[in-house]
């Protein structure tokens, strides 16, 4: 135990004496949050929607047909009550619900105006915005091309409602992503680099020859980064809560527990990377290209997963960050509990076990 404490102490010395490491550890979260505040907009297709048709007449059916025929939307389910709308969103499959008011055609013919409500899931601001704009455009073109040509001065007024994030704050979208990115960076990259550094400098040879067993060496390497990553996660959450006024609807303790799970997963991945890289450069490149870029591009952080080509969607399903982002969004924005995100949690647990098992198998007590 004494040996182990000595080892952990040494690791903290390494971290606190290296200004670059410190910068990555503590300067990064703040910089990232500010940088990712400006998110570019994207195209959409095959968005799953629900329709709650209170009228069921020939015009609502025609509009429904127009929308589903546009190629942007897929009608996922027909809803029959207001309550079902909420439930449908919580399941997380549909992005938008279109509600036709009762006696739609009748009103339109009588008053010359009728209302449609467009409800979008704005926990993903970009998608919500784009989806509702597309829907409005389709409805408007229907009014213009079909109704006007019949010489009728009709008007359909779409009313847009954003669910979960009615102020449309982009920060709600990039906080979970930034958290995933930073934790991935700090945990996986820093751990793999720090183990690879020992190999590069030849100190690993001494450590291997010492009575210190491989497991304490690895755990000793991991503990400081685990602690610091956790501090980082808290900094990010605090920053988003106090500076960007992002709500934490769900349980904070649950959120931190899930975060800890993700950190643990990233650390296991870091160890695995270090077992296959012999110097810091290799560890760095593997972390950069195999972890960071995919995390940014494929996890749904910036680009909505459903808009990706099929093959990239498959690849994205092995991105741990993807599940973590879903988890964080659900807890922070929707206030969901484990009942909703047990699947994602289970996937992360599985990945952790896999990476850890692989690293133990691959960790060498020798140099070859």
Report the candidate in 91, 51, 40, 43 with the shortest Cα–Cα distance to residue 71. 43
168, 212, 234, 276: residue in contact with other proteins (rule CB under 8 A): 212
Residues 13-52 touching other proteins, rule: CB under 8 A, are 13-14, 17-18
Report the candidate in 323, 368, 354, 355 with the shortest Cα–Cα distance to residue 222. 355
Can residue 206 be called a binding residue for other proteins (CB under 8 A)?
yes
- Residue 319 Cβ vs other proteins, minimum distance, rounded to whole Å: 34
- Residue 267 Cβ vs other proteins, minimum distance, rounded to whole Å: 22
In the block, tokens 């019949």 appear at: 150
To which H or E segment does residue 164 belong? none
Strand-by-strand arrangement of the 96-100 sheet: 73-78, 47-53, 96-100, 113-121, 155-163
Can residue 73 be called a binding residue for other proteins (CB under 8 A)?
no
Can residue 219 be called a binding residue for other proteins (CB under 8 A)?
no
Report the candidate in 237, 250, 269, 278 with the shortest Cα–Cα distance to residue 350. 269
Can residue 1 be called a binding residue for other proteins (CB under 8 A)?
no
Can residue 368 be called a binding residue for other proteins (CB under 8 A)?
yes
- Residue 12 Cβ vs other proteins, minimum distance, rounded to whole Å: 11
Angle between helix 171-183 and helix 320-329 axes, rounded to 10 deg: 140
Pick the piece of the chain touching other proteins (CB under 8 A) from 87-95, 205-213, 273-281, 308-316. Answer: 205-213
**CA atoms within 13 A of residue 162's CA, in its CB half-sphere:** 19
71, 202, 309, 339: residue in contact with other proteins (rule CB under 8 A): 202
151, 211, 309, 339: residue in contact with other proteins (rule CB under 8 A): 211
**Closer to other proteins by Cβ: residue 22 or 353:** 22
Can residue 365 be called a binding residue for other proteins (CB under 8 A)?
yes
d(CA 13, CA 204): 17
Can residue 366 be called a binding residue for other proteins (CB under 8 A)?
yes
Pairing of strands 96-100, 47-53: parallel
d(CA 184, CA 295): 8
207, 223, 284, 308: residue in contact with other proteins (rule CB under 8 A): 207
What is the contact surface with other proteins in residues (CB under 8 A)? 2-3, 6-7, 10, 13-14, 17-18, 201-203, 205-212, 365-368
């Amino acid at each position: 135990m004494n040996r182990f404490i000595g080892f952990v102490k040494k690791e903290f010395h390494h971290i606190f004496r290296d200004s670059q490491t410190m910068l990555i550890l503590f300067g990064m979260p703040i910089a990232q949050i500010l940088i990712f505040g400006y998110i570019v907009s994207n195209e959409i297709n095959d968005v799953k929607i629900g329709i709650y048709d209170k009228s069921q007449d020939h015009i609502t059916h025609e509009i429904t047909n127009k929308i589903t025929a546009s190629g942007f939307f897929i009608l996922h389910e027909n809803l029959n009550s207001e309550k079902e709308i909420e439930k449908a969103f919580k399941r997380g499959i549909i992005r938008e619900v279109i509600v036709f008011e009762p006696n739609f055609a009748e009103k339109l013919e009588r008053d010359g105006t009728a209302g449609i409500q467009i409800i979008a899931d704005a926990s993903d601001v970009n998608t919500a915005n784009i989806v509702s704009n597309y829907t409005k455009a389709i409805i408007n073109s229907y009014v213009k091309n079909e109704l006007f040509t019949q010489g009728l001065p009709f008007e359909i007024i779409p009313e847009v409602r954003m669910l979960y994030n009615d102020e449309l704050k982009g920060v709600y979208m990039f906080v979970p992503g930034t958290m995933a990115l930073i934790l991935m960076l700090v945990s996986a990259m820093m751990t793999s680099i720090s183990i690879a550094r020992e190999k590069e400098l030849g100190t690993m040879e001494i450590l291997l020859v010492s009575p210190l067993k491989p497991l304490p060496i690895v755990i000793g390497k991991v503990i400081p980064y685990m602690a610091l990553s956790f501090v980082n996660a808290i900094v990010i959450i605090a920053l988003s809560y106090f500076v960007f006024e992002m709500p934490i609807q769900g349980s904070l303790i649950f959120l931190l527990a899930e975060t800890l799970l993700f950190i643990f997963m990233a650390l296991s991945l870091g160890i695995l990377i270090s077992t296959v890289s012999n110097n810091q450069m290799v560890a760095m490149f593997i972390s950069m290209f195999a972890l960071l870029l995919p995390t940014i591009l494929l996890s749904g952080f910036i680009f909505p997963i459903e808009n990706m080509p099929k093959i990239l969607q498959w690849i994205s399903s092995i991105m741990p960050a993807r599940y973590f982002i879903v988890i964080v969004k659900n807890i922070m924005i929707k206030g969901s509990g484990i009942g909703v995100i047990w699947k994602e949690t289970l996937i992360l647990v599985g990945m952790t076990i896999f990476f850890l098992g692989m690293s133990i198998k691959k960790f060498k007590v020798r140099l070859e």
